[in-house]
Amino acid sequence: MYEQVIAINVGLAMLLAMSLNIITGFAGQPTLGHAAFYGIGAYTSALLTAKAGWPFLLALPASGAMAALVGVLLGLFSVRVREDFLAVTTIGINFVIVAIFQYVQLFGASLGLAVPKPVVFGIRFGNTEILILLIVLNLLVYLFMRHLPNSWLGLALGGVRNDEEAAASLGFNPDHYKVFAFGIGTFIAGMTGSVYAHFMGFISSTDFSFPVSVGVLSMAVLGGLGTVSGPLLGAIILTLAPEVFRFVSDYRMLVYGGLLVLMMRFQPQGMVGDDSWLRQRWDAVRTRGKGGARRG
């Protein structure tokens, strides 16, 4: 039971890290308010299932769509502000969304909302079923991420990230791809929030506060922004670390903040980036292995 809960938390973190990676890693748009979209998906799913009577299988994509709608609006705003200004704007959005959840009675205000367990084809979901669902979602998102870098969308997002003017000269409209990245990333975050809400059975505004956004960004940065496997590795490490080092659990934000500073200073490409120590060692092992095979 305990191991299943930990595995579910890892699965949720992996989805969030990959969704953020699409926006910040592939499109190069800094965002420090990703937990807001996580929360929008969670509250949307809670309201649709608990108050509107929607089945979970419809509430799940609808939650992603609601988060994506807000994400697209933020993407439209991002074409007017850049870099530090955009990061500060996303922080503000996170605080505004949390305040709405905290004070508006529709969302349960400070009391939060109770969320029913999903029922799909007559099967009431427990931890095992939720874990299986997360495995399927992670696999689908990972396959999408694997194909993204070499696709036309990935190449366009890379051009926007590296040099917007150069991308525009090749016929790409950077503004369109920024909005597209926000839409995709926040859609995944919204669906993740839906799964989280039904897994927990109860949600409140503090579940989606700014420290959660910092944690998600730390996962992506630690593993390597713009890489495919990096955010997964970062999510696994930073989700399991508090379980291993429970004696520092009260200082999680201090640890996350310190990791961000250290990684940006000494290893900005992350653990599996192109010039990272881990990637260099892996490439060296692969080279020696190929050399040995040829000699054999």
157 within a domain of the structure (yes/no):
yes
pTM for the predicted model, two decimal places: 0.88
> Tens digit of pLDDT for each residue in 177-213?
889 999 999 999 999 999 999 999 999 999 999 999 9
CB 230: neighbour CB atoms within 10 A? 28
> CATH code at 53?
1.10.3470
- Asked if residue 296 is part of any domain, the answer here is no
Q: What are phi and psi of 120, to 5 degrees?
A: -125, 120
Per-residue model confidence as pLDDT tens digits over 138-151: 999 999 999 998 89
Helices (H) and strands (E) in the chain, counts: 12, 4
Q: Which pair of structure tokens corresponds to residue 235?
A: 């999510």
Residue at 51 is within a domain: yes
pLDDT tens digits, residue range 235-293?
Answer: 998 888 777 666 666 666 677 677 767 776 777 677 776 555 555 555 555 566 655 55
What pLDDT sits at residue 97? 95
Tokens representing 211? 């420290």
Name the residue range of residue 43's domain. 2-290
Residue 295 maps to a domain: no
Asked if residue 220 is part of any domain, the answer here is yes
pLDDT-above-70 percentage for the chain:
86
Whether residue 70 lies inside any domain: the answer is yes
Domain count, the chain: 1
Residue 119 phi/psi, 5-degree rounding, is -125, 120
